Amino acid sequence: MTAKHVLARHALAAAITATLAMGLAPAAFAQEAGADDTVADSEAKTLDTLMVTAQRKVENAQEVPMSITAINAESLDVLGSSGGDVRVLSGRVPSLNIESSFGRAFPRFYIRGYGNTDFRLNTSQPVSLVYDDVVQENPILKGFPIFDTAQVEVLRGPQGSLFGRNSPAGVVKFDSVRPSQEFSGYGKLGYGSDDMINFEGAVGGGLSDRWSARASAMFQRRDDWVENTYPGPNDGFEGYDESAARVQFLYEGDGFEALLNAHARHLNGTARLFRANIFKPGSNDLVDGFDEDKVSLDGFNHSELDSRGASARLRWELGSYTLHSITGYESVETYSRGDIDGGFGAVFLPDSGPGVIPFASETADGIPDHSQWTQEFRIESNTGTAFDWQAGLFYFREDYDVESFSYDSLAGGAQDGYERVNQTNDSWAVFGAATWQATDRVELRAGARYTWDEKELNVEEYWNTGFVPCVLNGLCTLEDLAAAEPDGDLSAAPEDKKFSWDLSGTYAISDDVNVYARVATGYRGSSIQAAGAFNAKSVAEPETSTAFDIGIKADLWDRRARLNASVFWYEVKDQQLTAVGGSANANILLNAEKSVGRGFEVDFQAWLSDNLIVTLGSSYNDTEIKDDDLAVSVCAACTVTDPIDGNGKALIDGNPLPQAPEWTHNLTARWGMPLDNGGEFYVFTDWSYRSEVNFFLYESEEFTGKSLVEGGLRVGYNWGYGRYDVALFGRNILDEVQAVGGIDFNNLTGFINEPRVVGVEFKASF
């Protein structure tokens, strides 16, 4: 570990210690305050009530019996100041990790260590993303940029009753700023390292007495910051330009409201950059002389993406009841191509490297055609009595093609393989939930959902003339693939029927302190992987999860501070896992008998003085795979530390789930000095820490990611009572460089975190 990395960890520890120390002073002061201090305390700054929609209706977060963290608009602005994508949220709330082997296009979410490392474009995830009340099912849709966003809510634990299938780990919920009758908007422009440009803007207001609208847009770009020292098809990597826009219309009538939304996204840039042999054999240290600014690749690297969507959210007030209709449409087209071996040449040629390149590998994946339709009808009661309920119907339909390509880097990138599959998914659900205020202090809640889910996958075209084991003449056909299938069938059509439920209770110890307990279940539908040159078709059966939570939510120091804490335990039965291994190029779906997770989460926020507000989050997640007989193929070149069975496979019983750090911590602090002219000088800093992670199902020395510390700093001045703001900013200010993922295909290939970015930003609001 370098001195720089040691300094990073000490810096975070010192910051947390200082924050806690400062927090003790207000606590002691509050305990010792006498009657003369009452007036002064009452005029001190207090925390705003945090309103969330975790239960599909607007509520005070302190009264919702669930582990929830919300990120507000100011924090989102700071995190995204360097033009970052949705991965900037990783580690910024307890128990949330986000990573990607596709870069900006395909984020993978993990809550409490529970997620999915599968990189195929028809995969599903156990963390659901809901954007403006519409589920984003395909993993490419989950990367929609964050701009003009009012709030992001992270709901931890199964959400199978109100949000449905594919949410057994939790939900990340995005809510855009809604139109209103008030004329308002903003414009923001940032410039930083590597000619980074980050622009956002929005404008909205009333069109008539009943109609209002809001239009918003963003544009981000960055030059390539990695030089290709090999004369390949790309001179540099990691550059991109991305744009997105959203327009909303709101109609507010007598007892009727309609919110219409249309949005689109375009991305053009380089795909995830893989770097060959960056690990020292036998350790997870980066090789001596590692230079994050240079690579040597002979393959082509490119990523492009276009998505579009629309929704109509309608609401009717029917006396003591409210009827909701939510209609959503999403579509995406994407293509991503990369040099998988991470280097140039091959070991059997006169020149290759860096390190050993057993053979060249260059592949691409794309979605040329996609559509997703969703429809929900939901009715809720507003009786004003001790008992309220909601119930509804939900329909989901998805139909899309996935294309996979292979290329020969040693022949100028000539295509030598192709596969196209079609997958459809139909799902129906009926659901309901109820709340009963049993006494002045006790509230009980329950929810249930029954889901019918069907998928169908068909291989429509396949050919390969490259390095494949299926036929000696170098040509694979659909018949060859079918012959490799146990049943000679390339299609699969699993059908699942599942019942999910949750029960919870809240007890009010006082007006400011609530304790709660919750038990909830969720499930993820069956997954299918098509047959390919190296693998037969595989189908993973549905997984189910059960989680128990006990927590406390408290407002402290006359509402100048807020503390939320929870402990949890969960079990996933038949968990779907993706096994990859370089020596056999295995890439299959399988089910583990079960996995378990346990831990805790803490969220703390406080005004330590009228000028200083801090937030502190922490989580512990202990995950374990429990399956005595489960064995997976291993890497071709790494040092495996698991027991090996007679077939050369690793026994993974007892291993942690991949990409599941035990510890995560996050800290923010904002100090402001008001000026007499209505301006303010301020400093905002934010830090995140995650402990080491396992990249794959098996454990190895090289593919264990080291702990990672990243920090941000913003120094600014605003005037006009906050209408104008100019700031200097830095992201990853300690320039921490760590591997955050690996490719165990044929060597010790990995990819690293985002670089340090510094810049300046101006924002004007009206």
**What pLDDT score was predicted for residue 178?**
97
C-alpha span between 377 and 321 (Å, rounded): 13
Q: What is the pLDDT of residues 659-711, one digit of tens each?
A: 999 999 999 999 999 998 889 999 999 999 999 999 999 999 999 999 999 99
Q: What is the mean pLDDT of residues 725-734?
A: 96
**What pLDDT score was predicted for residue 467?**
53
CATH superfamily of 3-765: TonB-dependent receptor, beta-barrel domain (2.40.170.20)
- pLDDT at 239 > cutoff 80: yes
- pLDDT at 12 > cutoff 60: no
**What pLDDT score was predicted for residue 384?**
86
pLDDT-above-90 percentage for the chain? 82
451 Cβ neighbours under 8 A, 6+ residues apart:
164, 165, 427, 428, 429, 496, 497, 498, 499, 500, 523
Extended beta strands in 531-654, E state? 538-540, 543-556, 561-581, 586-609, 612-626, 631-632, 650-651
Mean pLDDT check: name the lowest of 25-34, 296-305, 500-509: 25-34
**What pLDDT score was predicted for residue 276?**
94
- Residues 559 and 42: beta-carbon distance below 8 Å: no
Q: What is the pLDDT of residues 437-460, one digit of tens each?
A: 999 999 999 999 999 999 999 999
**What pLDDT score was predicted for residue 742?**
92
pLDDT-above-70 percentage for the chain? 92
Going by pLDDT thresholds of 50, 70 and 90, the confidence category of residue 72 is very high
- More confidently predicted of 577 and 6: 577
- pLDDT at 640 > cutoff 50: yes
Going by pLDDT thresholds of 50, 70 and 90, the confidence category of residue 31 is very low
What's the order of all strands across the beta sheet hosting 294-295? 236-237, 226-228, 294-295
Going by pLDDT thresholds of 50, 70 and 90, the confidence category of residue 15 is very low
- pLDDT at 516 > cutoff 50: yes
- pLDDT at 17 > cutoff 90: no
Extended beta strands in 49-116, E state? 51-52, 59-60, 67-72, 96-99, 108-111
Distance of CA 674 to the CA centre of its chain: 36
Average pLDDT, the chain: 90
- Residue ranges per structural domain of the chain: 3-765
Q: What is the pLDDT of residues 740-749, one digit of tens each?
A: 999 887 889 9
C-alpha span between 529 and 588 (Å, rounded): 7
Query: Could you count the other beta carbons within 10 Å of the beta carbon of residue 524?
Result: 29
Longest alpha-carbon distance in the chain? 92
**What pLDDT score was predicted for residue 584?**
59
Cα distances (angstroms) measured from residue 52 to each of 64, 69, 174, 394, 442: 9, 9, 11, 22, 21
Within 13 Å, how many C-alpha atoms sit on residue 203's CB side? Answer: 3
**What pLDDT score was predicted for residue 165?**
84
C-alpha span between 270 and 301 (Å, rounded): 6
pTM of the entire structure? Answer: 0.92
- pLDDT at 30 > cutoff 60: no
- pLDDT at 156 > cutoff 90: yes
- Residues 698 and 655: beta-carbon distance below 8 Å: yes
